[in-house]
Amino acid sequence: MEASRRTIITSAGAVGTVGLISACGTDDAGSRSSESGNGSSESTAGGATIPASDVPVGSGTVIDETYVVTQPKEGEFYAFSSVCTHQGCQVRTVTEDKITCPCHSSQFSTTTGEVLGGPATEPLPKYEVSESGGDLTISGK
C-alpha cells in the first residue's frame, strides 16, 4: 500500500516535534552548568563550584547568573547574589572595590556586598566561599 501525502506530512511533523521536545530537556543529572571565564562552573544543590583561576585578582566573575564571586586581593574570595537588590538586574562589572549594576548604576562592596551608591538600598546577599585544591565552592542559594 502506498502512503498518502497527508500521512507522510503528519508523520514528519510528529517526528520533528519529538526531536524538538527532546532538545529542550536537561542532562541526566537534571542540572545546568555554564561556561565561566576560561573554565567551567558546576552547579550543585544550593551552591556552585568553580576553579579559583576563573576569578581574576582585582575583579570578579558572575557564575550561572546566580552568584558574583570577587577576588579583590590575591587569595581573598567573596561571593554574593548577582541579582541587584534595586530592580533585579544582573550585575556585570566588578572592579577591586565595587560591583556595579548596569541598569541604574547601583554599586556594592566587593568584600561585604554593602551598598556604596544607590539607587539600591539593600546589600547583595552574601554566601560562603571555601577553597580546596584550586577550586572554590559557593554555599547557599
**Average pLDDT of the residues in 52-73:** 90
Q: What are the φ and ψ backbone dihedral angles of 60, each rounded to 5 degrees?
A: -175, -175
Asked if the model's pLDDT at residue 32 lies above 90, the reply is: no
Tell me, yes or no, if the pTM score tops 0.85: no
Number of alpha carbons in the 13 Å side-chain half-sphere of residue 21: 6
Domains and CATH numbers, the chain: 46-137 (2.102.10.10)
Asked if the model's pLDDT at residue 16 lies above 60, the reply is: no
Q: What's the pLDDT score for residue 3? A: 55
Taking only the tens place, the pLDDT of each residue in 97-112 is 999 999 998 999 999 9
C-alpha–C-alpha distance, residues 35 and 73, integer Å:
24
